[in-house]
Structure 1
Amino acid sequence: MKQIETDNTINLMSRINERANRFILAELEKREITDIAPSHGAVLAALFRDSELTMSEIAQRVNRDRSTVTNSVNKLIDSGYLATMKNAQDSRSTLVFLTPKGRELEPAFFQISQSLAMLEYQGISAEEREIFRKVLERIYMNFS
């Protein structure tokens, strides 16, 4: 029986994700923001870019299924960061938008994102980053 060659690439990606999430949580806590999870970041980023989006639009932009997005949005609504209203153009859909409390997160969100990116790519050249991202995208597509 032929032995399958393996490595720890997936495990390493998972550990990087865990450390990045710990970093984000620590940065949020420094700013006394304790009711947001790192997984909420993509939803918030989409709404910082576009002030009103439907659940389907958010799901498409953050590359998550609608049920996952709905859970995140509901948690952010419960925490007072988001609200909803009926879509005037299509009464079958609901628009999600940032509340004033949600808008207040934007500066902290971008500071944390910048700090994370600086840490993530510390000591890595622009060329290495480009190659790395291309390889990650190919690995991702292998699972599609």
Structure 2
Amino acid sequence: MKRDQGDVHMERKDEALTATVSYSIFALARSHRALAAQLLREINLFAGQEIMLMYLWNNDGQSQQSLGRSIGLDHSTVAKSMKRLEEAGLVTRTRSNQDGRVTLVYLTETGRNLEAKVNDIWKELEQITTRGLTSSECDIIVSLAHRITASIDAADAPFGVSSVPPIIKEDI
């Protein structure tokens, strides 16, 4: 079957699109999130919830606002996620005794018991993600990701984009 000029033109436009950094980041993030979601489904978590739990494992009893700032999420997203985690029995939320406007988040025993499973899933996710890459290439990707994030943040992008500090856990 013969391809017409329109098909060839569209293929060139697609190649130009997929060769951009922005599209590459989009495709990488989409694939990575889908794999994370698949792996986390085994322990009844949605992608992103494990990040909140990781921050709580490092600093239990923090405010929802502090948690959102640490992760770079807006208040309503954090509140919705915390509600789901609370309904799943992984966290409890209470008002601060010092300031009734502040909601503090605490892990439950069930939430604390998920740490080893989540760490195992993140190890598997990291192994799959970096398969075929050298240690040096992994370091370069991390460095470039931080530089790109800083560049985007410096542009004062809309929607409250902010730097998200890395989660540092020796066992992940």
Show structure 1 runs of 5+ residues with no match: none
- Match among 66, 87, 103 for residue 57 of structure 1: 66
Larger radius of gyration, structure 1 or 2?
2
- 2:24 partner amino acid: L
Correspondence list, 1:1-144, <5 A: 7-29=19-41, 31=42, 33-34=43-44, 36-144=45-153
Percent identity, aligned pairs only, is 22
* SS of residue matched to 1:84: strand
Q: Tell me if structure 1 keeps the 8 A contact 2:40–2:47.
A: no
- 2:137 partner amino acid: E
Worse overlay, 101-110 or 125-134: 125-134
What is the deviation of 1:77?
1.3
Could you tell me how far apart the structure 2 residues matched to 1:115 and 1:80 are?
Answer: 25
What is the deviation of 1:113?
0.7
Could you tell me how far apart the structure 1 residues matched to 2:79 and 2:71 are?
Answer: 12
Residue deviations 1:66-105 (CA, integer Å, cap 9, x gap): 2221111111112221111122333331210111221221
Size of the aligned set, in residue pairs, is 137
Could you tell me how far apart the structure 1 residues matched to 2:148 and 2:130 are?
Answer: 19
Could you tell me how far apart the structure 1 residues matched to 2:144 and 2:33 are?
Answer: 22
Could you tell me how far apart the structure 1 residues matched to 2:148 and 2:59 are?
Answer: 30
Q: Tell me if structure 1 keeps the 8 A contact 2:89–2:110.
A: yes
Could you tell me how far apart the structure 2 residues matched to 1:104 and 1:98 are?
Answer: 9
Q: Tell me if structure 1 keeps the 8 A contact 2:65–2:75.
A: yes
* SS of residue matched to 2:144: helix
How high is the TM-score relative to the length of structure 2? 0.70
Could you tell me how far apart the structure 2 residues matched to 1:139 and 1:28 are?
Answer: 27
* SS of residue matched to 1:38: coil
What is the deviation of 1:19?
2.3
- 1:97 partner amino acid: Y
What is the deviation of 1:18?
2.4
Could you tell me how far apart the structure 1 residues matched to 2:121 and 2:107 are?
Answer: 19
